[in-house]
């Protein structure tokens, strides 16, 4: 199959470009640690839960679950990692392949990740609101392009000092 080597080359080029971009940023403020815990809200009438835990200094593991009544209707495995001085957001919806987003913006309470090559979303953001509030969003190329917002409240977990 001729197209298989082309796909491998394209993947290697993309990984190289991600790695080059990675060196432009420095990791570690305390932001990801403040994300740990269990967050819950309602999205489109369904209950939405996001759980985050710290694996080590540079790795945070998460899972999102959507419930319609008592039935689980969606799940996504998540990971935020620091690699080569850069923060990456990895998402695997429903056990499918992993999509990588790179951090493009970091402010004291807000981080935004982006993958311009992904169909949707292209941007994922998290904004901590006080000790127990979280606004998360997914959007297209800009926040005005098909945004979907998640308003969540911390239910369990640390509420670190600010």
List pLDDT tens digits, range 106-121: 998 999 999 999 999 9
Rg of the chain (C-alpha set)? 16
Dist. CA 56–CA 147, nearest whole Å: 32
pTM of the model: 0.78
The pLDDT of residue 118: 95
In order of 29, 71, 125, 154, the CA distances from 57 in angstroms are 11, 35, 21, 22
3-class SS of residue 7: helix
The pLDDT of residue 31: 87
pLDDT greater at residue 5 or residue 90 = 90
Q: Where exactly are the structural domains of the chain?
A: 3-156
The pLDDT of residue 14: 46
Residue appearing with tokens 């999102």: 64
18-39 average pLDDT score? 66
pLDDT greater at residue 126 or residue 15 = 126
112-140 average pLDDT score? 95
124-138 average pLDDT score? 96
Please confirm whether the linkage preceding 47 is cis (ω < 30° from 0). Answer: no
List pLDDT tens digits, range 60-105: 999 999 999 999 999 999 999 999 989 999 999 998 999 999 999 9
Indicate whether 13 pLDDT > 90.
no
Dist. CA 111–CA 141, nearest whole Å: 16
The pLDDT of residue 157: 80
The CATH architecture of the domain made up of 3-156 is: Beta Barrel (2.40)
């Amino acid at each position: 199959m001729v197209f298989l080597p082309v796909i491998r080359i394209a993947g290697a080029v993309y990984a190289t470009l991600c790695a080059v971009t990675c060196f432009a940023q420095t990791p570690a403020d305390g932001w990801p640690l403040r994300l740990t815990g269990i967050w819950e809200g309602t999205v489109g009438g369904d209950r939405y839960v996001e759980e985050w835990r710290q694996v080590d200094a540079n790795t945070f593991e998460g899972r999102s679950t959507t419930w319609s009544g008592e039935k689980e209707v969606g799940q996504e495995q998540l990971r935020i990692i620091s690699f080569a001085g850069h923060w990456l957001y990895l998402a695997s919806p429903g056990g499918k392949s992993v999509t990588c987003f790179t951090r493009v913006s970091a402010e004291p309470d807000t981080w935004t990740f982006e993958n311009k090559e992904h169909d949707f979303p292209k941007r994922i953001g998290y904004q901590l609101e006080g000790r127990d509030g979280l606004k998360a969003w997914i959007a297209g190329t800009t926040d005005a392009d098909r945004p979907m917002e998640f308003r969540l409240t911390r239910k369990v977990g640390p509420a670190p000092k600010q």
